[in-house]
Structure formats: C-alpha cells, structure tokens
Amino acid sequence: MSCQSIIELCLLTQEEAWDLFKRRANIKDDCSNELKGVVRNITDECKVLPIAIVTVGSALKGKSFVEWKSALLKLKESQPMDIEKGLSNPYACFELSYNHLSSSTAKSLFLLCSMFPKDYSINKEDLVRFGNGILVLGESIDSMEKVRTEIDVAINVLLDSCLLILDREQESIVKIHDLVRDVALWIARNQSQSFLVDRKAVPRLLMENETVKDTKVISLWDLEENFKLSDEFHCPTLTSLLLHSRVLKFEEPNIYLGGMKALKVLALIRFSFKWSINMWYHRETWSVPQSIVQLTNLHTLCLRGNALGDISFLVTLEQLKILDLRGSSFVELPNKIADKKKLKLLDFSDFSAYDFGDIEESRALSMKGYNVSSISSSMNDLFLSAELLQLRKCRIDNKDYLSSKVKRLEFEVCPDMKFIVDDRIKAKSNNLEIEQVFSHLLSLELDQMESLEQVFQDSSINISLQNLQSLSIEKCPLMHNISFPKASNLSKLKKLHLRRCRMLKSALFTPSIAQTLVLLEELHIYECSKLKHIIEEHDEEGNVLGNRNDGYSMSAFQNLRRIKAHYCNELVSILPLSFVWNLSRLECIDVTYCHNLKYVIGERKDDWVSLYQRKENKSVEIEINLPALKELYLYSV
C-alpha cells in the first residue's frame, strides 16, 4: 500500500506514562511516598508502552500496598527467555495482568480468544459455542443460558482488565490486541495448553508429529484447497479443532479425524457467527468425514455454510450438546435426532445471536427458509420439543409450534401467515389440551409478518398466556387486532412493544384483561396510526367505564414505569380513569406526534365532570398521584 506520507508515532514520555498509569490504577496525588515509589517503578517496567500501562494499571487498581510490592517483584523477576528482544517486559506485564484475574473462567476465556486470527471481530456467541466443553465453568452450569451468563461475566472481567476490547459499534463483538493475543498463545504454551494457529507452519509441524502431540487447540483460518489432515496425524490431547476455508472440501481424504479421541469441539466453517449471502462461496456438496463417528466425546459440532448431503451420522454422536448448521443444506434431518437428551441447541439459521433474557432454554431450534408444512417426522419432533423456536422466512401451514413446552417463540418474514393461532387449534382432542398451548410461553416476537391480520383468530379459545413476560410486534402492516383470548391472564407481562402496525385499529386490551396487568413496566407504541384506544372504552356488557367502583383491579398498572406513544395520529387517550389509581412507579410519559390526543388520563370530558360531581357528594375520593414521575414529554399533540 502506497502512502503520501509516513507519520511516526512516538512513545510516551516518562511523565505521560506516569499520568496514564495513575488514571488507570486510580492513584491519587496525595498517596504515600512509599506507594508512589513502587508505582513509579512498575510504570518503568511497562517501558512507556501504552497497552502495557493500561493492562497493568487496571489489574492493580484497588490493590493493597503489599500486593503492589509483590507485583513489582514479579515484574522484575519475570523476564521471559523465549521472547524476542524488546518484548520481554511487555510480556511480563501482560502475564501479571493475566495472573491477577480473579476468575478461572476469565483466564480460560482469555486463552480461547487467541484461537481467532489477528484483528478479528470475535462474536460473543462464537465464544459460547466454541468454548462449550473446554472453558473452565462452574459445576452447576447446566443450561446454555447459564453458559452465556458465565461467559458474559468473564468477558466483563477481561474488558475491565483491558485484555479485551469492546467493539464501539456492536456490543456483541470483542477484539484482542495483536500483542495481547501473542501473549495469550505464549501463556497457553507455558501451561502445556498449546494452541496451533499458524497455518503456514502446519505442513512442517504435521510432519514432525511430536510437535503437536500435546496440543490442546488447533485453529486454522483461510486454508488453501490443498490442505490435508491425513490419517497419519494423531493428537490424543486435542480438545478443539477449528478449520476455516472458503474453498477446501472438509472431507476424507483431505480431513481425517480418527486420531483425535479427546476432541470436544469440531468446527468446519466458511464464515463466523454473523454472515451475509455474499459470504456463500462454496456450494458443491461434500461428504462429512466418516471418521467423525469415532469422536465419542464431541460436545459441539459446527458445520457452517456447507452443502452437506447425508448427515445421518449425527445420531451416533451421543454426547452432542450443540449442533450448529448455520447456512448449510442437507438432504434430510435424521430420525431420532429429537431423542438426543443432551442436545441443547440446534441452529439451522443464518441470522444474528439472540438475547435470551431470563429464559434458560434446554433446547433451541432456529431455522430459515424452510417449508415447515412438509417437514419430516424427526423435524416435527424437534418442533414439539423446542423451548426456543426461531423461524425466519419459513412457510408455515401446520401449527406444530403450538406446543406446551415452547418458552420463546419468534417469527420473522414468514409469508402467507394470517394468524399465529387460528381456528384449527379447536381440532385438538380436548379442552385441557388446548389450555396447555403456550402455557410456558415467556416471550413472543413477531417481525415483518406481511400477511398477519390477527395474532389470535378467535378470542374465545381457552388460552391464558399466564407466563407471558414480553410481547413485541413490529412491521406487521395488515394486522388490525391482537385479539387476546378472553381467558388471558397477563399478570406476568412486563414489556409490550408495538411498532409500525399501521392498520391496528382495535384497542389492545379489554377491561377484564387490562385488570390483570399488574407487572407491566413498559408500554411502547410507535407508528400505529389508526389506533384510538389502548383499553376498550366499554366492558363486555357494554357499560361505560369511568370510576373506581367498576370492580376492576386496583393493582393494575401498579408497576408501570414508562409509557411511550409516538406517531399514533388517531390515538385519543392513553389510560381510562378506571386504571390510574395506582401509578406510583410511573417515571416517564412520552407522547409525540399524536395529533388527535385529547386525554393522557381519561377518555371523555364527562368522565372528569362525573368524577368531580361524585367527589362533591363524597361518594368518591380523587387519589391520582404520580410521585415517581421524572419525565413528562408532550410534543405535537
């Protein structure tokens, strides 16, 4: 690359290095001279290298004087002999930061990050999947959500220690500095956990089999078409093998896996966790190496962006917990795959990582571009056993997703689907079976469902939604009604988000359903231009609502914190008087571009006149208090 000019970046001066170290380590100017002297010496050991100063300062922040002295001694004594001249001090600094990590999970995760190439954007979900079975986790970590939580905590520890860097634009991405990555590889080698990441050195190393016999991780990216891992290769200690190539066929005789009996993670991939259609380079079908059946300890199998053909071998992998086939095609999902009790995550999709919130799923199924109407019996079994179900661009005619087990249900761009729950549910054998539908559902997300008219076709069906915590509906242009079942008990609903449902006319809740909203915290409605009321004006008998003696729950909306309504041009009112007696936690009312809004509270002038008349007769007391209100924003209403 030619440049018009070369700008030389100078090292920090001694005083600049001292100021930076003080800021990172939180050293005050009025600290003792004894501590100041030790800190000065540690700063000198960092050799005015900013990244070394930042990591060491972060590692020692808040430590006692004794720990500072101990750190100085270790830095002076720890001068790596196998490091090229000029890097021994920085290596010692990073090793000190690593040793000060309080979490064994963070230490193992730090080493795991070195398996990715230099300057690589590491998706957190890849750390979850590639780290499963090899990271040091707590003994009670028995679900994928607990694994994610544990890894998130470890990532935060590494970010605080400046050993990892958070991407400024994407919170799901972390990075590792090239020099820090080199240190991680060096530490792994010193701990007899050698990582082989240099693809150029592989041919020579594979010929010298002794060199790789103690290797724990092999991670080789951008492999050429002539790469081979022959049957002469034996690595009995290998726990993780990741091979990335846009051109290589991952099949025998190119790849032989029989000499890796301890392997727990196998990834043969063409792209990382996030990808686009432009990354789909190689579509020629190839056969998965038959030697894979010898991997009796395999926990994670990741085959991304491949035309796989026959995958019947999957049923032989008894220890499999994660099966990641993102962007891959295959002839048929093998029978009995749903019977694999240890399988926790099955991913057929190509879209981004999901946020599970409080859901601890034991089995997840994610698909894109399938005709669900013609799926095999084995796939149908997976539908019925999935606790997280994500469907994107799928044609859906049957309703096998109406399971009592599903906890999180997500639809995106599924064409020709008018209802999520239609009249065919009545064909179930008995009323008790109908009651079990969605009985464990915690979250429902609908996005870009172009044909959706109603969520529930018939409000008389006996479904209560008693565990639903979150409902999000976006960009459903034909939806005119949610039509919650009359039996709905939304006492656990915390979040309701509606966006760009421009044909939505009917009120969201009947009064009887609204009275169950005791935990609702967020009510956000954007660009629902035809919506007039959030709660219906009349109850089921046609009586007008308007006072606290109507019999509706005094506890409804008691946890409501935020009300936001933007660009709802026909909206007349937010909440009727009957439901505003207990808004003690309401912090924010934000209403903008709702041109026909007449009342934030109440629905008609007569409501207030009647209320004041009853107050004069002492038949009712007015107790509308908003003690927690911090923001009241009314614009263009």
Asked if 506 and 546 count as a contact pair (C-beta separation under 8 A), the reply is no
C-alpha 326: how far from chain center: 16
The count of other CB atoms within 10 Å of the CB of residue 448 is 17
Whats the size of the chain, residue-wise?
A: 637
Residue 320, amino acid: L
Beta-carbon contacts of residue 200 (< 8 Å; ≥ 6 apart): none
Q: Which fold has domain 198-353?
A: 3.80.10
Please write down the long-range contacts of 227-233, taking CB distance under 8 Å and 24 or more positions apart.
227/199, 227/202, 227/254, 228/253, 228/254, 228/255, 229/254, 229/255, 229/256, 229/257, 230/206, 230/256, 231/256, 231/258, 231/259, 231/291, 233/206, 233/209, 233/259
Asked if 516 and 488 count as a contact pair (C-beta separation under 8 A), the reply is yes
Beta-carbon contacts of residue 485 (< 8 Å; ≥ 6 apart): 456, 458, 459, 460, 461, 462, 463, 464, 465
Residue 6, amino acid: I
Domain chopping of the chain, boundaries: 14-99, 104-190, 198-353, 490-637
For residue 496 the two structure tokens come to 């309701």
pLDDT of residue 518: 93
pLDDT of residue 400: 55
C-alpha 89: how far from chain center: 38
pLDDT of residue 63: 81
Q: Check: pTM over 0.85? Answer yes or no.
A: no
Rounded distance between C-alpha atoms, residue 524 and residue 498, angstroms: 6
Beta-carbon contacts of residue 509 (< 8 Å; ≥ 6 apart): 484, 517, 534, 535, 536
pLDDT digits (tens, 9 = 90+) for 285-310: 677 888 888 898 999 999 888 778 78
pLDDT of residue 192: 76
What is the distance between the terminal CA atoms of the chain, rounded to a whole angstrom?
Answer: 57
Rounded distance between C-alpha atoms, residue 388 and residue 563, angstroms: 29
The count of other CB atoms within 10 Å of the CB of residue 538 is 12
Rounded distance between C-alpha atoms, residue 87 and residue 83, angstroms: 6
Residue with tokens 């967020």: 522
Residue with tokens 């009275």: 515
H or E, element range at 605 = helix 605-616
Most distant CA atoms of the chain, gap in Å: 98
CA distances from 234 to 237, 259, 310 (A): 9, 4, 27
Rounded distance between C-alpha atoms, residue 305 and residue 307, angstroms: 7
pLDDT under 50: residue ranges of the chain = 1, 81, 85-86, 275-282, 351-362, 429, 543-544, 546-552, 619
Give me the CATH code for the 14-99 domain, please. 1.10.8
CA distances from 27 to 41, 61, 296, 359 (A): 14, 8, 53, 42
For residue 272 the two structure tokens come to 């990382």
Classify residue 503 as exposed, middle or buried by CB count within 10 Å of its CB (0-12, 13-18, 19+): middle
Asked if 398 and 373 count as a contact pair (C-beta separation under 8 A), the reply is yes
Helix intervals (H) in 65-123: 65-77, 88-99, 104-113
Q: Which fold has domain 104-190?
A: Arc Repressor Mutant, subunit A (1.10.10)
